Chains A and B, each alone.
Chain A
Amino acid sequence: MSSLLIEGIGVQNWTYIIVGITFALYIGIAIWSRASSTKEFYVASGGVSPLANGMATAADWMSAASFISMAGIISFAGYDGAVYLMGWTGGYVLLALLLAPYLRKFGKFTVPDFVGDRYYSKTARIVAVFCALIVSFTYVAGQMRGVGIVFSRFLEVEINTGVVIGMIIVLFYAVLGGMKGITYTQVAQYCVLIFAFMVPAIFISIQMTGNPIPQLGFGSQLADGSGTYLLDKLDGLSTDLGFAEYTKGTKSLVDVFAITLALMVGTAGLPHVIVRFFTVKRVKDARKSAGIALLLIVILYSTAPAVAAFARTNMIETVSKQPYASVPEWFKKWETTGLITFRDKNNDGIIQYLANKNDNELIIDRDIMVLANPEIARLPNWVIALVAAGGLAAALSTAAGLLLVISASVSHDLIKKIINPKISDKGELIAARLSAVGAVCVAGYFGINPPGFVAAVVALAFGLAAASFFPAIVLGIFYKRMNKEGAVSGMIAGIILMLFYMTKFKFNWFGGGTKANWWFGISPEGFGTIAMLFNFIVAFVVMKFTKAPPEEVQEIVENIRIPSGAGEAVNH
C-alpha cells in the first residue's frame, strides 16, 4: 500500500519535493550564518573545524562537471579517463604537502594577498588578481549553465529560467553569508550530492554484479551466471563494435602523462580551493582538512569509473543491434531532449552503434550516463529525483565558492589594497557584497548566453592556474632567494605561453593548429605542464640576474615555515 503510494507520486513531483527541501535547507543555513565583518565574509573568521572545512572543500571542488559529466566522459574514454581521476585527486597531495599549511600560517584573505606580500610588489598582486578573475569566471559560467540544464531536464522549465532560479539562490546565501554562509551550505550540499551519487551506483552495482560496493563490483564477475568479469565483457563489447579496448585507451603515453600532471598542478593552484584553507584555526587543521577533503572526494571519484563501466555495458547491451521499434521508454524521452539521436542510415530498423562514423547510427551525449542511468537501470522514481538534487547541489556549491573568490579579488585585492586603502571595514564589506552581486549577474549572463568556447576555456583554467600560481606560490615558500622580478616574469611568461598554445590549437588563431603540429605530441589540455616548467625556468634565470629579496621578506618566509602561532586570519 505505502509502496504503491510512493510509486504514485511520480518523478516530477518527487523532484519538486526533494529539490524544494534541499533549497529550503540552504536558505535556512544562510540566514543563520550571516556575516557581519570582512573577516567573516572572506574567511569565516578562521574558525571552521577541519571536518566542516573538509566537507565544504569537497563540495566546493566537485562541480556539475564531476557530478554529471565525469562518469560519462570516462565511459566513452575508458582507460584514458584516468587522467581526470588521478589529476583531480593527486592535486590534493600537492596542496596538503606543499601549499595549504604554509598559506594558512601566512594567514591572509586571498591568494593575491600572498603573492603580493611575498613578492613585495603591486605588479605581482595585480597579475595574481588578473589570473584569479579569469580562472574563476570561466569556471562559474559553466556552473550556472549546469544549474539551468538540470532544471530544464528534470523540471521541464526553460534552461534560462533554471539559470535565474539558481542565481537567486546563490545570490541569497553568498551575498548574505559570505564565506561563513557558503561554508555551512557547502557542508549540507556535500551530504546531498554524495548520497545522490552513491544510491544509484549501489543499486546498479548490485543489479549487474551482485556486489553492493561499486568499487568491488567494478572488478567482479557479472551477475548473469556467465562467470565473465565485467571488464572483460566490456573489452569484448567495445572491440566488437570497433572501439578500442575499454581498459586500453587511445591517447599517447606522453599526452596522458602531461594532462594528468597539468590537472594535478592546476588543481593545487586554483584560488577557490586554496582559499578554503584560510578558514581553519591552526596549521595542523589545514593539513587535516586537506586529508578529509580528499577522502570525501575519493568516495565519489572511485565510484565514478565503476558507474562508467556499468553504464557503458548496460547501454551497449540495451540498444546495440536492437530494433528501434522496441527501445525502452527512457530512450524516447531523452531523444526528445536531443541528447540521444538515432538516424537509421541503412533503413533496417535496427540500431547500429559502431565506432566507424560512416556506419554509426546512434549519437549519445555523455551527460546521459549519469542523468539517465537510474532510468536505464529502472530504479525507483525517488532515486531519479535525488540525482537532480545532487546535480544542483554540486553546481551551486562550486558556483558559490567561485563567486566569493571573485568578490574578494575585487573588494579586497583591488579596492582595499590598490585603489582605496583607507576604506573602512564596513565600507569594504559593502563593496564585497556589491561585487558578489555583480559577479552573480555576470555569471548568470554567461549561463544564459554561453560562449561557444566554454568547454575549451575550462581546460584553459587549469592550464592557467598551473602556469601561473603554482610555481609562484611553491617558490615563495620553498625558495627564500626567489625575488619579485623572477616570480613576476615567470608568471607572465607562463600565462602568455599557455594562452598562445591554447588559442593556436583550440581556435587556430596563428594557423597550423592541428594535432599533427602539437609540440612534443602534447594536447592543449596537457600543455599546462610545459607552461609551468617554462614559468619555473624563466623565474630562475631572471632571479639570477636581479637582486635578492629584502631581509624582511626572507623573514616572512622563515616565519611561515614554522607552524605555531598562526592565530586567526589577520585583518590588515
Chain B
Amino acid sequence: MKNKEKAMAYWKENIKYVSILLIIWFLVSFGAGIIFKDALDKIKIGGFKLGFWFAQQGAMYVFVILIFVYLKLMNKLDKKYGYNE
C-alpha cells in the first residue's frame, strides 16, 4: 500500500511540472508567435519585430530549454522518491 501512495504522490508532482511547462510551451508559440503576434510586432529588437521573432526563432529556443528543465526537474524528483537508477 505504501508503494502505491508513493507512486501516486510522484505522479501528482510529475503532472504539476508537465502542466506548467506545457502552459509556457503554449504561450511562446501559439501566444507570442500567433495570437498576440501583431501586438508584439509593434516592439522592435534590432531588426526583428518581436512577434515575428518568436514565431521564427524564439519559440524554438524556449522549446529546447523546456525539455532540459523538465529533464532536471524529473531527475530530482526520481531521486526524491527513490526511482532513479
Residues in A lying within 8 Å of B, measured CB to CB:
74, 79, 81-82, 85-86, 89-90, 92-93, 96-98, 101, 215, 218-221, 229-232, 247, 253, 256-257, 260-261, 282, 284, 287-288, 290-291, 294-295, 298, 301-302, 305, 558, 561-565
Residues in B lying within 8 Å of A, measured CB to CB:
4, 7, 10-11, 14, 18, 21-22, 25, 29-30, 33-35, 37, 41, 45-49, 52-53, 55-57, 59-61, 63-64, 66-68, 70-71, 74-75, 78, 82-85
Residues of A within 8 A of B71 (CB): 96, 284, 287-288, 291
Q: Which A-chain residue is minimally distant from B25 (CB atoms)?
A: A93
- Assembled-state Cα–Cα distance A290/B71 (Å): 10
Shortest Cβ gap from B17 to chain A (Å): 8
Contact with B61, one of A98, A256, A298, A561 (Cβ below 8 angstroms): A298
Q: Is the pair A291, B47 in contact by a Cβ cutoff of 8 Å?
A: no
Q: Which B-chain residue is minimally distant from A87 (CB atoms)?
A: B29
- Assembled-state Cα–Cα distance A215/B46 (Å): 12
Q: Is the pair B53, A79 in contact by a Cβ cutoff of 8 Å?
A: no
Shortest Cβ gap from A123 to chain B (Å): 29
Shortest Cβ gap from A312 to chain B (Å): 13
- Where chain A touches its partner, the secondary structure class is helix
Known contacts: A82-B55, A93-B25, A565-B85. The answer to whether A284 contacts B47 by CB under 8 A is no
Q: Which B-chain residue is minimally distant from A100 (CB atoms)?
A: B67
- Assembled-state Cα–Cα distance A392/B56 (Å): 26
- Assembled-state Cα–Cα distance A221/B22 (Å): 35
- Assembled-state Cα–Cα distance A218/B45 (Å): 12
Residues of B within 8 A of A302 (CB): 57, 60-61
Q: Is the pair B83, A564 in contact by a Cβ cutoff of 8 Å?
A: yes
Residues of A within 8 A of B60 (CB): 85-86, 89, 298, 301-302
Shortest Cβ gap from B14 to chain A (Å): 8
Q: Is the pair A562, B10 in contact by a Cβ cutoff of 8 Å?
A: yes
Residues of A within 8 A of B68 (CB): 291
Besides A221-B47, A287-B74, 17 other A-B contacts (C-beta < 8 A)? A82-B33, A86-B29, A86-B55, A90-B25, A90-B29, A90-B63, A93-B25, A93-B67, A97-B66, A218-B47, A229-B47, A284-B71, A291-B64, A291-B67, A298-B63, A302-B57, A564-B84
Residues of B within 8 A of A287 (CB): 67, 70-71, 74
Residues of A within 8 A of B46 (CB): 219-220, 229
Q: Is the pair A561, B34 in contact by a Cβ cutoff of 8 Å?
A: no
Contact with B74, one of A93, A284, A305 (Cβ below 8 angstroms): A284
Q: Is the pair B78, A564 in contact by a Cβ cutoff of 8 Å?
A: yes
Q: Which of A89, A90, A256 has the most CB of B within 10 A?
A: A90
- Assembled-state Cα–Cα distance A247/B41 (Å): 9
Residues of B within 8 A of A81 (CB): 56
Residues of A within 8 A of B45 (CB): 219
List 13 A–B pairs whose Cβ atoms lie within 8 Å, in order of A's numbering. A93-B21, A93-B67, A220-B46, A229-B46, A247-B52, A253-B35, A284-B84, A287-B71, A294-B63, A295-B64, A302-B60, A305-B57, A563-B83
Known contacts: A86-B60, A564-B78. The answer to whether A294 contacts B85 by CB under 8 A is no
- Assembled-state Cα–Cα distance A261/B22 (Å): 13
Residues of B within 8 A of A101 (CB): 74
Residues of B within 8 A of A90 (CB): 25, 29, 59, 63
Q: Is the pair B63, A93 in contact by a Cβ cutoff of 8 Å?
A: yes
Shortest Cβ gap from B76 to chain A (Å): 11
Q: Which of B7, B21, B59, B67 has the most CB of A within 10 A?
A: B67
Residues of A within 8 A of B52 (CB): 79, 231, 247
Q: Which A-chain residue is minimally distant from B85 (CB atoms)?
A: A564
Q: Is the pair B29, A260 in contact by a Cβ cutoff of 8 Å?
A: yes
Known contacts: A221-B47, A253-B34, A291-B71. The answer to whether A82 contacts B64 by CB under 8 A is no
Residues of B within 8 A of A232 (CB): 47
Q: Is the pair B70, A97 in contact by a Cβ cutoff of 8 Å?
A: yes
Q: Which of A79, A92, A221, A298 has the most CB of B within 10 A?
A: A79
- Assembled-state Cα–Cα distance A554/B29 (Å): 35
Q: Is the pair A219, B61 in contact by a Cβ cutoff of 8 Å?
A: no
Q: Which B-chain residue is minimally distant from A221 (CB atoms)?
A: B47
Known contacts: A287-B74, A561-B11. The answer to whether A305 contacts B56 by CB under 8 A is yes
Residues of A within 8 A of B55 (CB): 79, 82, 85-86
Known contacts: A81-B56, A558-B7. The answer to whether A256 contacts B67 by CB under 8 A is no
Q: Is the pair A562, B85 in contact by a Cβ cutoff of 8 Å?
A: no
Q: Is the pair B67, A247 in contact by a Cβ cutoff of 8 Å?
A: no
Q: Which A-chain residue is minimally distant from B68 (CB atoms)?
A: A291
Shortest Cβ gap from A232 to chain B (Å): 7
Residues of A within 8 A of B78 (CB): 284, 563-564
- Assembled-state Cα–Cα distance A86/B10 (Å): 31
Q: Which A-chain residue is minimally distant from B83 (CB atoms)?
A: A564
Shortest Cβ gap from B45 to chain A (Å): 7
Residues of A within 8 A of B35 (CB): 253, 257
Q: Is the pair A96, B7 in contact by a Cβ cutoff of 8 Å?
A: no
Q: Is the pair A231, B47 in contact by a Cβ cutoff of 8 Å?
A: yes
- Assembled-state Cα–Cα distance A86/B29 (Å): 7
- Assembled-state Cα–Cα distance A230/B56 (Å): 15
Residues of B within 8 A of A260 (CB): 29-30, 34
Shortest Cβ gap from A276 to chain B (Å): 15
Residues of A within 8 A of B25 (CB): 90, 93
- Assembled-state Cα–Cα distance A218/B84 (Å): 43
